[in-house]
């Protein structure tokens, strides 16, 4: 097993952060400093991060958080902005699964199961994420088709989404849409390149896990049915 993957699977750090910390001379294997994230290890090796022994866990914690507007998906921030980790008990040592930008609200999963996190984010699993976008006009059929097929959103990328409903609520239009890709700020970029206003954006579902009526800023444990769903995804990876 690769060293960085072992650390990520322990739930201590994300894969990217694990690679950074190894390169920063923070990890030893059997008392020897290792700087190569791809160093092959045995799970029985004595692996330490900042001199503390790392062990794979048997029991993991996964929760669903309703992210409010104004919070960033990070453990800390150089600019002093509020982070989603301020909303959960300090007893948890979790990592966020994917991100929501500062102004986007809704469902985000946090877990200490590194393998599960990677399975949920891997493109091959195509986990559906359902969003509610609020704008000021209905999308025309040709625009809906264009979004479904994929439109250029900059950085040599295409943004794709499936529009499942449009409804007028007071003087706004609420559009429900599904993503399977997860490019950075994908929906915002789609709206920008179509020259459409986006008043708010909320993620209401991750796969079979619904945000429901969970209050903003609150979190909950997953049900047995939801955990079984996640375990099924992880077993495929």
CA distance 13 to 193: 35
Marked catalytic residue, from 46, 77, 101, 145: 101
- 64 with 222: CB under 8 angstroms? yes
Q: Name the DSSP letter for residue 74.
A: S
Q: How far apart are the first and last CA of the chain?
A: 15
Return the bridge partners of 149, or none: none
Annotated catalytic residue 101: yes
Scan for tokens 């969003």, then name that residue: 131
Compute the chain's Rg from CA coordinates: 20
- Which residues are within 8 A (CB) of 151 and not within 5 positions of it... i.e. 6 or more apart? 158, 159, 160, 190, 193, 194
Identify the bridge partners of residue 130 per DSSP, sorted by sequence position. Answer: 178, 205
Q: Is 105 left (phi over 0), alpha (psi -120 to 50) or beta?
A: beta
Residues with catalytic roles:
101
């Amino acid at each position: 097993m690769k060293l960085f993957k072992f650390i990520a699977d322990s739930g201590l750090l994300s894969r990217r952060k694990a690679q950074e910390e190894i390169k920063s001379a923070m990890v030893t294997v059997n008392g020897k400093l290792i700087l190569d994230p791809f160093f092959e290890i045995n799970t029985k090796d004595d692996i330490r991060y900042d001199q503390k022994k790392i062990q794979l866990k048997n029991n993991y914690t996964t929760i669903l958080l309703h992210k409010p507007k104004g919070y960033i998906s990070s453990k800390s921030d150089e600019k002093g902005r509020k982070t989603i980790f301020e909303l959960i008990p300090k007893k948890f040592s979790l990592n966020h699964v994917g991100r929501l930008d500062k102004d986007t609200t809704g469902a985000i999963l946090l877990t200490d199961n590194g393998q599960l996190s990677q399975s949920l984010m891997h493109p091959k699993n195509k986990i559906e994420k359902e969003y509610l976008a609020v704008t000021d006009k209905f999308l025309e059929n040709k625009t809906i088709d264009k979004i479904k097929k994929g439109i250029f959103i900059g950085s040599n990328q295409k943004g794709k989404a499936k529009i499942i409903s449009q409804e007028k609520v007071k003087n706004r239009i609420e559009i429900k849409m599904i993503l399977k890709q997860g490019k950075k700020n994908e929906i915002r970029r789609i709206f920008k390149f179509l020259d459409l206003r986006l008043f708010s954006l909320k993620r209401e579902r991750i796969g079979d896990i619904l945000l429901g009526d969970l209050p903003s800023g609150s979190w909950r444990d997953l049900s047995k049915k939801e955990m079984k769903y996640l375990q099924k995804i992880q077993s495929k990876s």
